[in-house]
Structure 1
C-alpha cells in the first residue's frame, strides 16, 4: 500500500530529526512516542488487499501531517544556534500544535481501525490534551531556565560547609531567631543566616538531621528557586554557632521591591510574574504528587539582579528546630498572613491545604506584582475573613493591567477551588510574548 509505506518512511525520517533537536525535549519525546504507538497497527495494513475509503482518507491526512512535521523539524535543525534561541518560543507552540493534531488523528484512526485498546487509550481526547499541556509547560520552563541560568563558581551540591570557606559581611536583617548577613563563599556573594541562642550543643546530631533533610531540596534545581548551598557548623566555642548559607538576591524580597520601585514598567512586572510562576511550577512538579510550599507570599519571593524572581522560604524545618527549638518568630510582618489564605481556609480551621489553596495565595502575589499595593491594607484578620469568605470580595486591578495577566490573576483568586488553574496552566498562559502574539516565549 503506497500511503502506508509513505507514512512509515516519514515516521522513520522524523525519528532521526528528533534525535538532532536540542530543545523541546518533552514534546519531541511525545511526538516519537505517539508515532511508535501508531506504527504497529499502520504496519499491519501492509497485508490488506484493499482499504476502505474512510480509512484511506484518514491515512492520507496522517501522511500530510507527517510531511508537514518533517519539513518543520528539518527547518528547525537547519537554524543556527542564535536563530534557534530567538525563534524557540514559536517552535514550542508549533510542535505543541503538531502533537495535538497527531493526537486527534490518532484517536480517529484508532476508532476507524478498531485496534487494540493500547492504541485507543493512547489517543483519548482528554489524555492527549492533558499530555499536550504538561509537555508544553515543561518545555517552556526548561527553555526559560536555559536562557536565564548563570552557573556560579560554587559547589552545586548542598553540603556541610567549612567555616574557613565563608566570609561574613554586612548585616542585612535580623529577627527573633537569626541574623542575616551578606557574605562570600568561594569569593561569590551569598546570604548567611546565623541562628541566635542555639538550644543544642550536639553538633553531630544537627549534622545528621541536616543530611537526612536535604534530599527534597536537592530536587529543587531551578534559576527560579532560591539555591541553598548548605550549613556551617562551628563547634570551636563553648556554644556552637550554626549558619545556613543561601543564594544572595541583591534587591531583597518582592514585597520590598514593589514598595521601593512603584514605577516599574509592565514589561518588568509581567516578566517577574512569569519568573514567579516558573518557580511555583517547579515546586509543584517535585515527586509524584508535587510538593507544597505552605507559605506563598510576596516576602518569600526574592529578587536578584535583572529583576529575576526566585521562590524562597524553604526551611530546613527539622534542622532549624533542632538548633532553635520551637521559638516562634514574632518579627512584625508588613502584610497580614490572612491576606494570602484561601476562602475555604478562612471558613474552616479543618480545611485540607492543597495545591488549589496555594494557587489562591499565588494569585494574591500576582495581584501585588500587578498593582504594587499591599493586599487588604489596613484590615485586620477578622475584616479580611469577612470580606473574602462572607462578602466574596476581590480587590480590583488597575485598568492598565494586561488582559491576559488580569484573567490569570482573577482565576487564581476564584472562590471555588475547582475553578483555579494549576501551576502548569499558569505557566502556559504567562510565558508568552509581551506583545500578545499567540504563545511565543518572551526572549
Structure 2
C-alpha cells in the first residue's frame, strides 16, 4: 500500500517537473518549487531504494504521521501542477496586474511544503533526520524568486512599465529579519516610544533598530523576574522551528540589566481586531478570505509541528501595511505564564473558551479547543462583530451565521464552532477549504484566469 502511494507521488512529481520546464513567466519561482519538492522526496527515495526501512517504520508509532504527510505531499504537488497550468494560460498583462495574488499562491505552496518536513523526516534515523531538516531550513527565500521573476517580466512588457513600477513598490522585499536570534543591547534602539496599541502584558513600544535601520515592536515584560528571564531565553531559542511568512518574526531579546524585552518585526496596522473594528466595511470578501487563509496558515504551522498556541484570539493576529495577517506570541507560552502571575488576566480571552472548558474548568485544553478559538476568529473576520456582547464582557451565547455567509464560509465556521469537539475540522482541512474558496472567488471575479 505504502509503495503504491510512493509510486504515485513520484509519478505526479515527474509530471509537475515537466510543467515547470514549460513555465515562461515566474520561471524562477516555479523552479524554486521544483527544487523544494525534490528535496522533500529525498527520504521517500531512500525508502523506495531500501524497502527494509519501510518495514522497520511500519511497526513504529511515527509511521501513521509519515503516511499522512506522504498522502498530503501527493495532493499538494497535484495542486501546484494545476496552479502552474492555470498560470500558463494567463496573459502577461494579467500576470502583471495580479502579481500580488500570484505571489501569495507561491508563498502558500512554499509554506505548506515546509510544513510536511517533520512528518516525512520520521522515516529516517535520528542522525539522518537532523541532516535532512537542516537542509530544508537552509532553503532560500522563495519570495525573492518571485520578485526576480516580476523584474524580468517588466523587461518584456515595456509599454506597461509604469504600472509595473507602481505595483513593485507594494511588493514585500526579502526580509531583513536576522536569521538567528539576536541578543540586543539597549543602545541599539533609537527613539523608543509607547505605542497606541496595548500589548499582551502592558504597553507595547515602537523603536528604530539602528543596525538594520528598521522600525521594530518591543514588548516589555516585568523587570527583574528570574523565572521570566529564564523561560524567555529558553523559549526564544526554540522559535526558529516556527519560522513562517504567516508568523510574526522575533528579531531578538533584550535582557540587559533588569530589562526583559522581546523585539518583533513591526506590523503597521496592529491587531486583526483593530483592523476589523476600523475597516471591516471597506474590506472585500476576497480581502477577508485572504486574511482568513493567512491566519489559518499561521496556525497550520504550529499544529503541524504538534504544538499549541493556547491563546488564539483576533488580537493575537497582527496585520502589516499590505494587509498580510500573521500570528503573534508563538512559542512563548511559558514566558507568558510566568509574566502573567504579576499582571491581571485579560477577561476577554475567556470569550474564546470552547464549551468543554466552560463546562469543566479542569478539562484539558487540546487542539480541538484551539480550533474552536480559531472558529470565533473566522466568525469575526466575516461578520466584523465582537465575540462578546456590546458594552459588556459577557460572551455571546451563540455565534449566528448571517444569511449572506450561508453559501460561502458559513458552513466552515459552524463546523469549527461545533459543541461536539470531535466534529470540528482540523487546521489542514480549514486551510484547504479557505484556499479553494479564495481560488473560486478570484476566478469568479476574473482576477486570475
Shorter-chain TM-score bucket reads 0.5 to 0.7
Map 1:135-150 onto structure 2 (within 5 A): 136=75, 141-143=108-110, 146-147=142-143, 150=173
Contact 2:20–2:27 (CA under 8 A) maintained in structure 1: no
Structure (1 or 2) with the larger CA radius of gyration: 1
Q: Distance in 1 between matches of 2:64 and 2:232?
A: 46
Other structure's SS at 2:440 match: coil
Q: Distance in 1 between matches of 2:302 and 2:65?
A: 25
Partner of 1:79: 23
Partner of 1:327: 342
Q: Which whole-Å deviations, capped at 9, do the CAs of 1:269-304 have from their partners, x for residues lacking one?
A: 110000000000001122xxx110111110111111
Select the residue among 417, 426, 431 that pairs with 2:430. Answer: 426
Please report how far the alpha carbon of residue 415 of structure 1 lies from its aligned counterpart in structure 2 after TM superposition: 1.4
Contact 2:184–2:252 (CA under 8 A) maintained in structure 1: yes
Q: Distance in 2 between matches of 1:434 and 1:319?
A: 36
Partner of 1:224: 246
Q: Which whole-Å deviations, capped at 9, do the CAs of 1:74-107 have from their partners, x for residues lacking one?
A: 2332222516869999x9xxx9xxxxxxxxxxxx
Partner of 1:304: 320
Map 1:150-161 onto structure 2 (within 5 A): 150-161=173-184
Map 1:21-32 onto structure 2 (within 5 A): none
Q: Distance in 2 between matches of 1:84 and 1:374?
A: 43
Contact 1:176–1:329 (CA under 8 A) maintained in structure 2: no
Map 1:196-211 onto structure 2 (within 5 A): 198-200=223-225, 209-211=231-233
Contact 2:5–2:70 (CA under 8 A) maintained in structure 1: no
State the superposition RMSD in angstroms: 4.4
Contact 1:137–1:428 (CA under 8 A) maintained in structure 2: no
Q: Distance in 1 between matches of 2:176 and 2:200?
A: 33
For the pair 1:272 / 2:244, whether they are aligned, the reply is no
Partner of 2:137: none
For the pair 1:241 / 2:259, whether they are aligned, the reply is yes
Provide closer, same or farther for how the CA distance between residues 135 and 373 of structure 1 changes in structure 2, counting only shifts above 3 A: farther
Q: Distance in 1 between matches of 2:235 and 2:343?
A: 21
Select the residue among 170, 182, 192 that pairs with 2:206. Answer: 182
Question: How many aligned positions are there?
Answer: 336
Q: Distance in 2 between matches of 1:312 and 1:192?
A: 13
Q: Distance in 2 between matches of 1:207 and 1:295?
A: 21
Structure 1 portions without partners, runs of 5+: 1-29, 39-65, 96-116, 388-393
For the pair 1:313 / 2:329, whether they are aligned, the reply is yes
Contact 1:274–1:427 (CA under 8 A) maintained in structure 2: yes
Per the normalisation by structure 2, the TM-score is 0.63
Q: Distance in 1 between matches of 2:278 and 2:289?
A: 18
Q: Which whole-Å deviations, capped at 9, do the CAs of 1:367-399 have from their partners, x for residues lacking one?
A: 000001112424867764xx3xxxxxx422233
For the pair 1:295 / 2:307, whether they are aligned, the reply is no
Contact 2:229–2:260 (CA under 8 A) maintained in structure 1: no
Other structure's SS at 1:339 match: helix
Bigger relative contact order, structure 1 or 2, given CA contacts below 8 A and separation 6+? 1
Map 1:44-443 onto structure 2 (within 5 A): 73-82=17-26, 131-133=70-72, 136=75, 141-143=108-110, 146-147=142-143, 150-172=173-195, 173-174=197-198, 177-185=201-209, 186-195=212-221, 198-200=223-225, 209-235=231-257, 240-263=258-281, 264-286=283-305, 290-314=306-330, 316=332, 318-319=334-335, 326-329=341-344, 336-378=348-390, 384=396, 387=397, 394-401=398-405, 403-432=407-436, 434=438, 436=440
Partner of 1:5: none
Structure 2 portions without partners, runs of 5+: 38-53, 81-104, 113-141, 144-170
Per the normalisation by structure 1, the TM-score is 0.63
Provide closer, same or farther for how the CA distance between residues 176 and 360 of structure 1 changes in structure 2, counting only shifts above 3 A: closer
Please report how far the alpha carbon of residue 418 of structure 1 lies from its aligned counterpart in structure 2 after TM superposition: 1.1
